Amino acid sequence: MPQKRHTLVFDLDGTLVDSAPDIAAAVNQMLAELGAAPVELSRIKQMIGDGTPKLMERVLAAASLTITVADIMPRFMVFYDRYATRQVTLYPGVAETLRRLKAASCRLGVCTNKPTKATHAVLAAGGIDEVFEAVIGGDALPQRKPQPEPLWATIKQLGGTTETSVMIGDSAVDFACAQAAGIPALILPSGYGMAEVAATPGFTRFADLPDVLRQLDT
């Protein structure tokens, strides 16, 4: 188990849970209410990762709607809260690996651009909420990933430092956030997000995480 790098901060969507089907359901229910055609799941996956306002901006553009993000956000959040946990699916090995790391005295946190309320609901629905000591959602601070402030705030809540911390994520947003914060990033791509990002060598399954973390200390 890792020694030096024991403050572990995880992204949520695309890293711990496959949440795209629930997000797509919320998006398309909203679009149906507006009389617009649905957006395919594959396109919505590419829109995820930069926070709900940016998601709405992309959805409205894809649907050729002239409504402002500010005007549609309250209505979308009604659907988002309704659908956020209907199809929550942890990626293989997530629950077991997180508990293994927790048992090894690692401090675990979540830093996501997903709204805080939905984040807690998803973690609870996935049965992994109890392993996390800190959760920073996309509405917790004025800044969002890839800006470093949310990541720094998560590390602070965990009692860690940049020297003890690692960001574990799936996207270019997570990689850029870790770089800006001055900590290593371990990336297992999920297909979410607008930009492609390379996987960390040796990190092909979530269950590989303890071994990959050990390599950071060598």
Q: Is 208 annotated as a binding residue?
A: no
Q: Please confirm, yes or no, whether 217 is among the known catalytic residues.
A: no
CA distance 205 to 166: 17
Q: Is 217 annotated as a binding residue?
A: no
Whether the per-residue pLDDT at 110 is higher than 90: the answer is yes
Q: Is 11 annotated as a binding residue?
A: yes
Give mean pLDDT, residues 174-183. 98
Question: What is the per-residue pLDDT across 23-46, written as a single tens digit (0 to 9) for each?
Answer: 999 999 999 999 999 999 999 999
Whether the per-residue pLDDT at 217 is higher than 90: the answer is no
Whole-angstrom CA distances from 60 to 70, 79, 106, 150, 194 are 12, 15, 41, 27, 16
DSSP reduced 3-state for 120: helix
Q: Model confidence at 3, in pLDDT bands (50, 70, 90)?
A: low
Residue with tokens 């309704």: 82
Whole-angstrom CA distances from 12 to 15, 53, 69, 72, 90 are 5, 17, 23, 24, 10
- The one catalytic residue in 11, 18, 22, 50 is 11
Domains and CATH numbers, the chain: 7-18+88-216 (3.40.50.1000), 20-83 (1.10.150.240)
- Please tell me the predicted confidence (pLDDT) of residue 66: 93
Radius of gyration of the chain from Cα atoms? Answer: 17
